[in-house]
Amino acid sequence: MKPARFDYLRAGTLAEAHATLASEGEDARVLAGGQSLVPMLSMRMARPKVLIDIMHLPQLAKIESDGNTIHIGAGVRQAKLLAWPEIHERQPLLAAALPWVGHAQTRSRGTVCGSVAHADPSAEIPLALLALKGAIHLSSRQRQRRVPAADFFTGMMSTARNDDELIEAVEVPCHTPGHGYAFHEFGRRHGDFAIVACAAVAHADGVRLAIGGVADCPAVRDYPDLTDTALDDALEGFSWELDARDDLHATESFRRNLVRQLGRAAIEEARRCRA
């Protein structure tokens, strides 16, 4: 299929993008790398009246870090972040998660913020953002606001973004000395959507585990430094709380088991990597 008719606006300034979002509301969609939105247009799951292309705004194409956080602009492609020389040192979890995002071909077009805006339940970048306590910077003609990842993802492909807002950047905390990270994922084939994805952050007092691909949006739990059966019990509880469902590729029971076992593997690896 081909997309329904739409107007295309190449935003020359951020103000122009904001003005169109303000006037068109939900009939406007922001186009960045187009790796999720364009297939949605082609399948007519999305039928916006106007697409606002933000990829020609140089101020959005930057990766910046002050040592405490990494600021990733809305125009930054996934491949660019993965190739950023400081990524492994600044945030090992992002470096571990990014190779799981789609394929090299889609990462060369798709953007970091676009994946966050799309909010697929099995997407890796929203999962990593949640595990790392990242935040989303939204702006509209009226105001700017910063939404923690924990409040941003509200359901299957739905977020706290208002219709007149666009994501200007996401903010990810840098590696904290003493923290360890691990990312585990299982899908049917290379590059397929995750059946279960786990992002773990271990610190001195405990561990934080985020799970994607099971519930409608990524979910996270903080645990004290549990071991052995106490950790098994915690993961058993988490696995049931996610309301896993049967589909063609995995039964609900299989998904719960992956949460328990891949989750445990991620936690143990993150602990070993504490540095």
Partner 1 sequence: MVTEGNQALRETVFWTPPELTPPTDADEVNSSLCHGFIFDFCGVEVDRITGAVRVDKYVTMHDCGRVLHPGMVAGQITGGFAQGVGAALYEEFAYSPEGAFLTGTFVDYLLPTTTEVPAPTILHVETLSPFTPLGAKGVGEGNCMSTPVCLANAVADALGIAAIDLPMTPSKLAAHIHPPEHARGRS
Residues that bind partner 1 (CB under 8 A): 186, 188-192, 195, 236-237, 240-241, 243, 248-251, 253-254, 256-258, 261-262, 265
Q: How far is the CB of 230 from partner 1 (least distance, A)?
A: 16
Among residues 28 and 250, whose Cβ is nearest to partner 1? 250
Q: How far apart are the first and last CA of the chain?
A: 50
Radius of gyration of the chain (CA): 19
Question: Other CB atoms closer than 10 Å to residue 53's CB: what's the count?
Answer: 15
The DSSP-derived string for 179-199 is: -EEEEEEE-SSTTPPPSEEEE
Among residues 105 and 154, whose Cβ is nearest to partner 1? 105
Which of 209, 187, 213, 197 has the alpha carbon at shortest distance from 267?
209
Among residues 132 and 209, whose Cβ is nearest to partner 1? 209
Among residues 76 and 258, whose Cβ is nearest to partner 1? 258
Q: How far is the CB of 111 from partner 1 (least distance, A)?
A: 22
Q: How far is the CB of 60 from partner 1 (least distance, A)?
A: 30
Tokens matching residue 189: 């084939």
Q: How far is the CB of 62 from partner 1 (least distance, A)?
A: 33
Among residues 108 and 261, whose Cβ is nearest to partner 1? 261
Taking the C-alpha atoms of residue 234 and residue 222, their distance in angstroms, rounded to an integer, is: 10
Taking the C-alpha atoms of residue 31 and residue 177, their distance in angstroms, rounded to an integer, is: 37
Exposure class string for 7-31: b at 16+ Cβ within 10 A, else e: eebebeebeebbbbbeebeeebbbb
Taking the C-alpha atoms of residue 158 and residue 129, their distance in angstroms, rounded to an integer, is: 16
CA-to-CA separations, 19 to 13, 56, 141, 165, in angstroms, rounded: 10, 16, 6, 10
Among residues 12 and 237, whose Cβ is nearest to partner 1? 237
Q: How far is the CB of 262 from partner 1 (least distance, A)?
A: 6
Q: Residue 177 contacts by C-beta under 8 Å, 6 or more apart in sequence? A: 275
Please say whether the beta carbons of 153 and 214 come within 8 A: no
Look at strands 69-73 and 135-139 and give their pairing: unpaired
Among residues 13 and 251, whose Cβ is nearest to partner 1? 251
